Structure 1
């Protein structure tokens, strides 16, 4: 190789971007390039002919070039020398924060060590790993948010994760709500602010909807052409969760502490102008994120309330990050607000743009989960409202059972809670989760939905002869006609020559007295009761055989066969046929409920609702189920339905029972195998019957119950 080429090679070697050391087989330095001298600073002074790798490494330690990371110098030097073997690559940290990568290859007479600064590569890897970690964390948060079904826990999770992202000291989540406008009354009409429509409100069922007594009608003021939309909904931001670590504040969410702060109005209630002064309402109205480094040094927003809060609590609200929560239609459903971001040392700093991006990403995922949760809750509320509307419609069908469909679910849930709270005994292992509890709640409200098909005259039959009206009036008319006939016969007989007036008059008065007594008997029999004896039935038939003369003068029985059939009803006021119509409501209830596409969590609603007339011995209806064939919730509802019926004060055929009378009857039903004995005992021991009585019974119905006798602890 000529000298020119050799010179070019040496020049190229000297200008390589990598530091290169050439070592012989004894690890003595043979050569090095300019980059090596500049890379290793003062330690490069030990690069000389005859110098050793060991001496060079000692210089690296002595001049504090290398970061030993807590290791002894000799240990590091020994391991580094050992690492200088062909095809080996290793990294070393320098005290200036840089990272050096060493790659060793074999040469003809020894080794070549190539050193490269890979700090930027490490930095990029760290950033990439941090990005991956954030992505993994965001995915984990997204999965967790999606899986959470409870609104309060969801809100708390959103807040805690958002705070953790930027080490925020506190934060608030607002939910956007819509207020029902205050009603406006004009000439007995309630004006709907949104539609401009009106509806008559002063009817016999809605007296409470009229303007307050002594109040004045109020007309909507202002100029119609002012440009203000009177129908704009009155929206506000409602505090859903509020936390602050420094002040140890945790309200809303699962804390159980109610937030008493006033709502934030998004529009001025008087003018309808948007409220852009408050940063949270601004974000809700515009859909824009607002990042404020210092609330005390910002224009355009009113933080006077924040300053007052700080003064009262010896606090300093500084940095604010306010992010709107948007649904899938880009509509704002809430606002997430974080305050006082902190660095690793706990110092309050502004929210960094990169962290703002992360919070916005979290807010986007949170909004989707929150929107889903709110939609599910809205559907649940709609379903529950429809359910209660149907139950109330059934109750309104009959003024005599007006509260039955409302009271039974309450009592059912009271007894179910007592069963879940039982720690020992037969029900010690019984429990119901949230979904099962809601299924029982639904079943309680819909347990008599089949009555929607029951004719009103049967449901409302308060007397034996009642149909569209009480036909006892027709019977009374016939008796009046019979008395008229008796009087006519008497007067004709007296007019006959030689008539015994005294005897005729005595017979006439006896006849009238008998008719009056028969009518009084029928009037009493018409009312119905717990039992009608056979001799009374026989008397009805005797009375029915008596006659009166119709308009054509033809003798006609005082009672028709259908009236005799009704008046001879043994219990209550319903005939067997009418009772069948009533009992058929259970079959219809089950049929109607089984046609509804209930979700999995509510699949057992038809079973729960359809078993409240079954008996433990299998003699109930509609399916004759036994205790073993019925679930505990179905048996609970059976007890609730019976107790409500016994104590109800709105039944047409009986007076309301007292607590003691009702419990006595149910004790007999327990012995006869009609109701579940374990649940009935719990009904007594837990005091559920007393709690229900305090809430729904009249004072005169509430009396003492000998619980020990009922539970068999002593002779009754």
Structure 2
């Protein structure tokens, strides 16, 4: 009855433990306690088909190596196979290859197994190995997950005895349970690694989709995690009580890598639009050709005298230069400039192949009068729509409990604290701290990025000045932004990723 209760306690403890090293040590300690063994070793299997010493304990010699201790085991791993055949020079490798339990009453009086290694170890330590129990740890699919070896069982008077068959069965049940638990935890770890890698693959694919945002999906996680660590470590101010566990950091990292996954549905011609007139190609070349046709017409038209021709040609050249500059989208386009585009479109007409047409088409005018950047209103809606796609994608995924916040974190990086952001128009009190952290990371990366075709990268001083205003206008979380500045998160990122000329602070 005592063993059953002990076994239940062990099973519960093993099922709760997450650390692989601690788990293996618990298995060994539990097996030693059940069998009253003086010593024991637990091995795991590596990718080279070797048994690796994970924890080694011997009470009489006062040894506790590996496991949760700082004492690293320097003993070489044991090959399970030698020259493609089972290694018969060690009991643990024999148990591993045969899948059989080896129970030896006295190691010095056994003929069926090679115990030379145990005898040599005894000579060096002065120990006397007598009873030995070696058990393979096989999971529910009969895959080997490790081997456990126990030495010198003791009776109630501490006399060394053989390992009892009932105890052998109990230890075997324990190792089988432990093997299943180990396998489940390994599968969970592998799934975590797979999902994390898949998240990074999606980000990599999005970055590769556009040569002009080739580092965005990689850099935003860098800034996000740096700011999250700074907020976690700070012990003063509004964030003094904020903390993140390892699982929380992992969840935020996954969200950061997936924050722009909706861009897989954004057309390249919009995402990569370097100038206002760019579609498959930059239509400014067509407009320049029309200006040349208009210039030829003025130059060869008989009704203009010489002075009038010069004046008209100069005005034409000035208007052409204005349109070329307007196409870049590098500066704010005010109402005066917009009116000039309309006037140019109305004033000049050209005849090509017998067809008379305005020098600027309606669609070209629509794009040229864009006030900021290179995207017209329709294209801006398409770009902003990547967040709707991101929301749909992430909210449709059955995230496990420990990743349930990924959609909220990832989908909040375009929200503003005053509720004027998108896609949901959330206010500060409707967003989690990690989501607000991502908003700061995304803005900072966008401003400092040196691979955008429609704007030069901002220096640190320019970027901080813009973000200061965003804080004042209630677009960025003020507490998080203060940590971003005071802990110099921006500077650490700049030193790693930005051009030296951008770092002017």
TM-score (norm 1): 0.63
Match of 1:660?
A: 461
Uncovered stretches (5+) of structure 1, i.e. residues with no partner: 1-131, 179-233, 494-498, 705-716
1:250 aligns with 2:44: no
1:557 aligns with 2:368: no
Which residues in structure 2 correspond to 1:198-217 (within 5 Å)? Answer: none
Distance 2:489 2:280 in 1: 39
Distance 1:261 1:544 in 2: 83
Match of 2:434?
A: 633
Deviation at 1:459, TM superposition (A): 1.1
Which residues in structure 2 correspond to 1:61-140 (within 5 Å)? Answer: 132-140=1-9
Q: In structure 2, do the counterparts of structure 1 residues 472 and 294 end up closer, same or farther at CA, with 3 Å as the change threshold?
A: farther
1:571 aligns with 2:372: yes
Q: Please, which of 477, 486, 497 is the counterpart of residue 676 of structure 1?
A: 477
Match of 1:175?
A: 44
Deviation at 1:673, TM superposition (A): 0.5
Match of 2:15?
A: 146
Which residues in structure 2 correspond to 1:298-447 (within 5 Å)? Answer: 301=114, 314=125, 316=127, 318=129, 320-339=132-151, 351=163, 353-447=165-259
Q: Please, which of 597, 609, 621 is the counterpart of residue 398 of structure 2?
A: 597
Q: Please, which of 519, 526, 531 is the counterpart of residue 327 of structure 2?
A: 526
Q: Is the 8 A contact 2:56 2:63 kept in 1?
A: no
Deviation at 1:317, TM superposition (A): 8.0
Distance 2:192 2:392 in 1: 23
Distance 1:375 1:356 in 2: 28
Distance 1:170 1:700 in 2: 63
Q: What is the Cα-based RMSD across aligned positions, in Å?
A: 3.3
Q: Deviations over 1:609-637 (max 9, x none)?
A: 22111111111111211111111111111
Q: Is the 8 A contact 1:617 1:673 kept in 2?
A: yes
Distance 1:525 1:259 in 2: 70
Q: Deviations over 1:416-460 (max 9, x none)?
A: 222222323211222334443333222212211221211111111
Q: In structure 2, do the counterparts of structure 1 residues 177 and 472 end up closer, same or farther at CA, with 3 Å as the change threshold?
A: farther
Q: In structure 2, do the counterparts of structure 1 residues 286 and 397 end up closer, same or farther at CA, with 3 Å as the change threshold?
A: same
Q: Deviations over 1:654-709 (max 9, x none)?
A: 222233322221111111110111111112222322232333323333342xxxxx
Q: Please, which of 91, 97, 100 is the counterpart of residue 288 of structure 1?
A: 100
Q: Is the 8 A contact 2:65 2:72 kept in 1?
A: no
Q: In structure 2, do the counterparts of structure 1 residues 428 and 530 end up closer, same or farther at CA, with 3 Å as the change threshold?
A: farther
Distance 1:670 1:515 in 2: 45
1:159 aligns with 2:28: yes
* SS in structure 2 of the partner of residue 402 of structure 1: coil
Q: Deviations over 1:4-54 (max 9, x none)?
A: xxxxxxxxxxxxxxxxxxxxxxxxxxxxxxxxxxxxxxxxxxxxxxxxxxx
Match of 2:266?
A: 454
Q: Is the 8 A contact 1:532 1:571 kept in 2?
A: yes
* SS in structure 1 of the partner of residue 273 of structure 2: coil
Distance 1:241 1:614 in 2: 50
Q: Is the 8 A contact 1:646 1:657 kept in 2?
A: yes
Q: Is the 8 A contact 1:170 1:340 kept in 2?
A: yes
Match of 2:279?
A: 467
Distance 2:366 2:108 in 1: 86
Q: In structure 2, do the counterparts of structure 1 residues 632 and 530 end up closer, same or farther at CA, with 3 Å as the change threshold?
A: farther
Which residues in structure 2 correspond to 1:206-245 (within 5 Å)? Answer: 235-242=49-56
Which structure has the bigger radius of gyration? 1
Q: In structure 2, do the counterparts of structure 1 residues 688 and 278 end up closer, same or farther at CA, with 3 Å as the change threshold?
A: farther
Distance 1:294 1:266 in 2: 21
Deviation at 1:586, TM superposition (A): 1.5
Distance 1:296 1:645 in 2: 75
Match of 1:606?
A: 407
Q: Is the 8 A contact 1:593 1:606 kept in 2?
A: yes
More displaced 10-residue stretch of structure 1: 290-299 or 685-694 = 290-299
Q: In structure 2, do the counterparts of structure 1 residues 525 and 375 end up closer, same or farther at CA, with 3 Å as the change threshold?
A: same
Q: Is the 8 A contact 2:55 2:64 kept in 1?
A: no
Q: Is the 8 A contact 2:43 2:54 kept in 1?
A: yes
Deviation at 1:600, TM superposition (A): 2.7
Deviation at 1:295, TM superposition (A): 8.1
Deviation at 1:476, TM superposition (A): 2.8
* SS in structure 2 of the partner of residue 555 of structure 1: strand
Q: In structure 2, do the counterparts of structure 1 residues 427 and 554 end up closer, same or farther at CA, with 3 Å as the change threshold?
A: same
More displaced 10-residue stretch of structure 1: 342-351 or 547-556 = 342-351
Q: In structure 2, do the counterparts of structure 1 residues 628 and 514 end up closer, same or farther at CA, with 3 Å as the change threshold?
A: same
More displaced 10-residue stretch of structure 1: 517-526 or 378-387 = 517-526
Distance 1:310 1:670 in 2: 71
Q: Is the 8 A contact 2:39 2:152 kept in 1?
A: yes
Q: Is the 8 A contact 2:122 2:129 kept in 1?
A: no
Distance 2:295 2:75 in 1: 78
TM-score (norm 2): 0.87
Distance 1:374 1:665 in 2: 47
Match of 1:116?
A: none
Q: Deviations over 1:289-314 (max 9, x none)?
A: 3345448987754855x788778x75
Q: Please, which of 331, 341, 347 is the counterpart of residue 540 of structure 1?
A: 341
* SS in structure 2 of the partner of residue 389 of structure 1: helix
Distance 2:200 2:44 in 1: 27
Uncovered stretches (5+) of structure 2, i.e. residues with no partner: none
